[in-house]
Amino acid sequence: MIPDFEGADDIQSILERFIPAARTIMLEHRLAYEGQEWSITALELYLWTGRAWCDPCTDRKSGQARHGAWYVNRGPNPNHGRIDIAAGNGREIFAGFLIRELDRKDGSAVALQKIIRGRFGRRNNHDGGLLKKSIGSIQ
């Protein structure tokens, strides 16, 4: 379901891979964690191929180089964290399907906090290690 972006250096080839995968994730799966479930209602793609397609918002960290794993970026505080489904190739391609929205509640930090806390609570201090538990899986 998670595409390989090898050789995807133009918008057409990227869209041909991203759109069917995003459609499948959003229409056929729910995100589940500790007895709670959410519909994934918006996804956003971050992609760095190292060649013609280099999205500056891609973190280019080892977590985004993995394929099909959860990638969590905690951000400077809870209002800036996010969770992606990694779609890299283990080498030079870094990619992530950002969970942009859960149950039509917009905001990647909102999505991450709903998974961790079961709710979104605005705070301006650091999260104090709330990500010690592993994140659930797509079912």
Q: Where are the domains of the chain?
A: 11-121
| Over residues 25-53, mean pLDDT | 90
Secondary structure of residue 16 in the 3-state scheme: helix
Closest CA to 137 of 69, 62, 73: 69
Residue 136 or 53, more confident: 53
- Cβ partners under 8 Å of residue 35, min gap 6: none
Tell me, what's the pLDDT at 102?
Answer: 85
Residue 80 or 70, more confident: 70
Q: How far apart are CA 111 and CA 117, in angstroms?
A: 10
Pair of tokens at residue 21: 């995968």
Q: How far apart are CA 39 and CA 42, in angstroms?
A: 9
Question: What stretches of 29-107 show up as alpha helix (H) in DSSP?
Answer: 62-65
Q: Report pLDDT digits (tens) over 85-139.
A: 999 999 999 999 999 888 887 777 667 776 666 554 444 333 333 333 333 444 3
- Cβ partners under 8 Å of residue 2, min gap 6: 21, 67, 68, 85, 86, 87, 97
- Cβ partners under 8 Å of residue 138, min gap 6: 25, 29, 30, 31, 32, 40, 85
Q: How far apart are CA 55 and CA 32, in angstroms?
A: 29
